[in-house]
Amino acid sequence: MSAPRRTGAGLFAPDRATTPLGTWLKIASGEPAEIMAYAGFDFVVIDLEHAPLDLQTAYRLINSAAALGMVPLVRVPDKTASTIQKILDAGAMGILVPHVDTVEEAAAVGRACRFPPHGVRGAGGTSRAGAWGLRPGADYLATGNDDVLCIPQLESAEAIKAAPRILALDSVDAVFVGAADLSMSMGSTPASPEVLELIASAQEAAHTAGKRCGLAFGGAPERAARAVRDGCDFVLLSNDTSMLAETARGLVTAFREADGHR
């Protein structure tokens, strides 16, 4: 089986042999990106929503991830076209957009990801995405329209209800269900039956549209594997800060227990 193209769209290539597996990057340093590549992750999501990362840091992490063979995606902090354009010009192979609740919001985000006539993204062929002006213009424009992933995050019951119309948009490639925010908006928990029902609804809408639906599972690979068997198409496990924190706490706890002096 041939390997998928290392582009945003290649992450969801139909001939992929394995489920796309990613993690979040929250540390403002290149070393975690290197570690995730050597660990075997297929993609990373550089988190500009919940981490103190600026655009220049994201710029460096995008380059590191791509150079190491991973697909670099970025969770943008807002829905503005200017933010999305800068991230895509920096070479991101796709974006996750938080709190997309309506088809109108999804359509606006999708337009920001695509060049005219499919959208409103401005041409920046002298950026990294255009190989500093060395990439043929037609190739730069085609890649921007065909290979960049636009992934709205569905994080409310309103968003799940709108999922079939959101996924019907040509500019939307997949959706990501933010189970934590979804459950909080409902006064519930991510594992509650009503939340699981909404997640299943989003997955069904994605598959009906011929697209993908992803979820995050923290440090619970067994739960993630079960979700894939139940229809989840791509998975995020843990993040660089939590991996460090959990391993550090585990080492300290194990030592104190073995030492006996506590």
Domain with residue 87: its CATH number is 3.20.20.60
Q: Could you tell me if 70 and 49 are in contact, meaning their C-beta atoms sit under 8 angstroms apart?
A: no
Q: Which of 50, 99, 118, 207 is catalytic?
A: 50
- Range of the structural domain that residue 198 is part of: 21-259
Residue 5 has a pLDDT of: 41
Q: Could you tell me if 57 and 28 are in contact, meaning their C-beta atoms sit under 8 angstroms apart?
A: yes
Asked whether residue 11 is assigned to any structural domain, the reply reads: no
Residue 127 phi, psi dihedral angles, 5° rounding: -90, 180
Residue 6 has a pLDDT of: 60
Residue 145 has a pLDDT of: 87
Asked whether residue 7 is assigned to any structural domain, the reply reads: no
Measure the CA–CA gap between 98 and 24, rounded to whole angstroms: 14
Tell me if residue 99 is catalytic.
no
| Total domains present in the chain | 1
Asked whether residue 16 is assigned to any structural domain, the reply reads: no
Residue 262 has a pLDDT of: 58
Residue 9 has a pLDDT of: 84
Residues of the chain with pLDDT under 70: 1-6, 261-262
Asked whether residue 5 is assigned to any structural domain, the reply reads: no
The reported pTM is: 0.94
